[in-house]
Amino acid sequence: MSPLKYVTRRWPRAAGALAAALVLSLTGAAQASAADLNNARNAGFEAGLTDWTCTAASGTTVSSPVHGGASALRATPAGQDNARCGQTVAVKPGSTYTLSAWVQGGYTYLGVTGTGTTDVSTWTPDAPAWKRLSTTFTTGASTTSVNVYTHGWYGQAAYYADDVSVFGPDGGGGGDPAPTVPGTPGGLTVSGTTSSSVSLSWNAAPGATAYSVYRGGTKATTVTGTSATVTGLTASTAYTFQVTASNAAGESARSAPVTGATAATGGDPGTGGLPRHAVTGYWQNFDNGATVQKISDVPAAYDIIAVAFADATSTPGAVSFTLDSAGLGGYTVDRFTADIRAKQAAGKKVVVSVGGQNGTVSVNDATSAANFANSVYALMQTYGFDGVDIDLENGLDPTYMSQALRSLSAKAGPGLILTMAPQTIDMQSTSNGYFRTALNVKDILTVVNMQYYNSGSMLGCDGKVYSQGSVDFLTALACIQLEGGLAPSQVGLGVPASTRGAGSGYVSPSVVNNALDCLARGTNCGSFKPSKTYPALRGAMTWSTNWDAAAGNAWSSAVGPHVHGLP
């Protein structure tokens, strides 16, 4: 796809020592004694940076994103500074404390020094949504204060921290009062369904830091917002759901139950209720000069919206996604997920795209295949994505990527939307890894939208060389896939939305429409005319909805109706 602003992620030098200390908890600690309290001061940064000190002026407070209250810490590593922010906290000698904080963004560390016993720390890489870091420490016999800190990592993105807690016996230095168990959330409703998922929303409960959704009495997922999508369900089946609220003091009673029934599945593999002919558009989770959009801004002509991009984490094969709230004008995760649900309610599908031009995801063994499937499924649960788009432009292993996609399909169910966006070179022969992967998962594959750009001249299915930028280039190269084993409904034409959307290969919407007509109807062909027509051809894709918007939505206004009008 289009070049990104991302920098290469590096595994921190201290990661090996710190990984063993990592403790992730979304529901809070066990019940504490009545005398315990949060000894941290200005723990939610509601008073700016009062009581906190940040190195190299790296910290500030922001109003978005926040985990609780109206403010949170934003700290940005720069040069040789890792954006360390800390405070001195009064503690009681010979006592045990739970240190925790909610974090988001780049690499984030949480730790304590000066305990008089063993100093501890914990960390997480690239948290796409608010995540609770937690660890415990014990003070020495004469320790009356400790130094609590957060920091990021060199060369990595800014991190956010909120609701820091040093929970335990009163050290006498003042602090925030101990939380109480939140009340039961109200207003639980079913906000949308697919053949394999049910989306839910509810009212916020004061004091809650997390919510757990129960399906038939079993916990299905835990989130920090007031909505969730439970995936991996069976089509045409009724399910009962409840929700609870929790914080460090404990978990509320379960809400009144609601029932949601999944939709019937479609007859074709990977359709998930899509129309016979579909338009795919990539949505940019970054600002590179194209029009900055919210998901809600994407025109209705697009049937599949591919959110670009999820990228590699330090765990082999695993991917993560972080909404670029700052770069997108303060677009919050809650609004993002709500916009996804609204698109789904309108019959659209939203998938997370993995990779891009600078993507570094590598799935080359059984372990990384499992990590890929687990991490993508987790993103589907967190954000409500309908599936995944594979846009790996640096090669892939067909054996283990196929294994990963089948594992994901088993988790997500028959409603999974699986799309791919290989480069032209990747689909020149059925022996290529990308083509082999597509054929390996043909029974669960939705569509392959090959990129007919940034490629130069290529061979068509008739063995002749065709130059990009022509109707012949689109039709003769699509013919390779159509005759190489993919169903017509699994083939789409991927093109730039404007001359600024790619380095080369732009064609006007009229050329795209002519190519669609040539393949589906046998009309408006150039010098190449396929030996037969493919009326079930899936449609077209563009990079990107943002570049389309920058050009007045000329691409989707012309190509969208034409795709939907195919036979």
Q: How far is it, in rounded angstroms, from Cα 491 to Cα 508?
A: 20
Q: What positions carry a catalytic annotation?
A: 393
| Contact by Cβ (8 Å): 490, 448 | yes
CB 370 within 8 A of CB 383: no
DSSP string computed for 120-187: EEEEES-EEEEEEEEEEEE--TT--EEEEEEE--TT---EEEEEEEEEES--SS--BPPP-PPPPP--
Q: Kind of pairing, strands 278-284 and 539-543? A: parallel
d(CA 374, CA 369): 9
298 near 290, Cβ under 8 Å? no
Residues 6+ apart with CB under 8 A from 158: 74, 75, 76, 77, 83, 105, 106, 152, 326
Cα torsion 288, 293, 294, 299: sign: negative
Identify which of 250, 182, 252 has the alpha carbon closest to the alpha carbon of residue 214.
252
- 3-state secondary structure string, 13-45? CCHHHHHCCCCECCCCCCCCCCCCEECCCCCCC
Residue type, 407: S
- Give the type of residue at 462: D
Q: What is the C-alpha separation between 30 and 503, in angstroms, rounded?
A: 56
Burial class of residue 329, CB neighbours in 10 A (0-12, 13-18, 19+):
exposed
Residue-wise DSSP of 72-130: EEEE--BTTB---EEEEEE--TT-EEEEEEEEEES-EEEEEE--SS--EEEEES-EEEE
